[in-house]
Structure 1
Amino acid sequence: MNAAPLSWNDIPAVDWRGGPLDCAACEHRSLREGDACEPGRVCMQDAYARRIDRFFARHAQLAVQHLRHGYFEVRAIAARYVDLFHLTALLGDPDETVRLQLALRLPQRQLLQLRDDPHREVRIRVAQRLAVDQLASMLQDEDYQVRATVARRIASGLLPLLAADPDVTVRQEVARRIDMPALWRLAQDAEPEVRRIVAERLPPSLLGVFLNDADLLVRWEAAGRLPGHLVRAFLADADAEIRERALQRQQVLAGVAATSPEEFPHG
């Protein structure tokens, strides 16, 4: 076997078991005659995933033959190229890399079977693709990233079910999307990261709830959106940056009032 040119890749060409490549023993050795495979660059027996992918990209029709291959990378890459009808045979594959490929490709009906996959990355991909009306079944997933993904996509009417989630990342996602009056309840959240988002979205007339908030950034967000009747209270804040922010807001409101449409006659 001729060594691959160094310009192709400097990663040694070894088979997936760690031994030397043996083209003579390969079931696809006939492809060498037409340069349809190239050891060290395009080879499904190689340990390097990119070389395996190049092989199946050229020979997608051969992918179905390797769905039971002993090397998980071969199975996972073959799963990218086979038709959808053959993917269900891999639902019980022992390697999460293979099941991850299924989560990216399976139709919705089969995708449901991966909702309880033991690996979090697989379930995250499922939550990213699952139909919105099926996401409620993943609300109680044990992994916070799965629940956060659900919170980004689930129907807004179901977001209150995650408003008390134990993880702050999930509650942040909820705060970005939840409607009033449920948003109001998050103004009392224990974490400032959540309250800052609430301060960005709460109706201005309710921003007084943050007047004495312990977090400077929460008060700063609120001060930039105040209605006129709350500005004076924030002008007395203990922090100079908050007072400056409230003063700027007061000036903006005064400018709006000074250029009110009532001052200009209608044409």
Structure 2
Amino acid sequence: MRVVVFLAASLILGACSQPAERSAEVASQEAAPMAPAALADSAAAGAPADARGGAAPQAPLPVGIPMLAYSYDYAISAPPKAIRALVTRHETACANAGAAVCQVVGSSVSEAGEDRVSGALTLRATPVWLKRFRESLSAEAKTHGGRLVRAAVESEDLSRRIVDSEAALRARTTLRDRLQGLLASRPGKLSDLLEVERELARVQGEIDATQSELTMMRGRVATSEMRLTYESGGVLAPEGAWSPVGRALGDVADILAGTLAAMIRTVALLAPWVLVIGGLLWVFRRRLPRWGRKTKDAPKVD
């Protein structure tokens, strides 16, 4: 009896272990195409899909911190005399940090009058330095009698573009190496060699373009761009009950100035004609009495 129970238990355990082994084999066969070696062999094949980076999206993206490119947009409103000082102060702070930490992309200050001054400053800096710089902007604006009126941030996720570009670069590099080996080890007709050289030059150009794009995207991730706008408008005393009177007086001054300007233009337009017409009248007035005397002195004819 014990022997029969033992044999039955052995059969049951064997039947349970076979599906598990089969499922493990199926799982390993399904996971095999995604292995790095298979991807490398696929890239080395030099197929057109690989040259375009088509095989790269099939592989899962690496799990990690997203590669984000940040862009900041800040605006400061300050008195006209403080605009140039603020722009110079911020530009000097970036220059003192060093080119490896901060770079001035653009800087400008324009004046449309004593009370209308504006400025713009564009920086590209590392996130650590830029964080400290942004935290001090509000205090610096208040020190110069101004205030921070706008603070905006935008981000662009470059993770997929960078991963796809790296995969395409690897595939094109493999294809270039194969073409170079083919050109060196398989001599043939001159037309065939020229065709291989043209293809090699095309692939090398794509490699250079992809490397440049990767360098640019990695630079955008490693550093952040910040645009600063400085405006003198809006830094006025708060409006009170007599603000409409002040605006009315300003309008009266504008009206008087406009009227005076119109009068000056009218005088400038009519003055030449007044001189010409006055001169003609003066000439006629001097000649008319002579004509009258000649008529009276003429002898009468009977």
TM interval, shorter chain, is under 0.3
More contact order relative to length (CA 8 Å, sep ≥ 6): 2
Structure richer in helix, relative to its length: 2
- Give the number of the structure whose residues are more often strand, by fraction: 2
TM-score normalized with structure 2 length: 0.18
Max Rg structure: 2
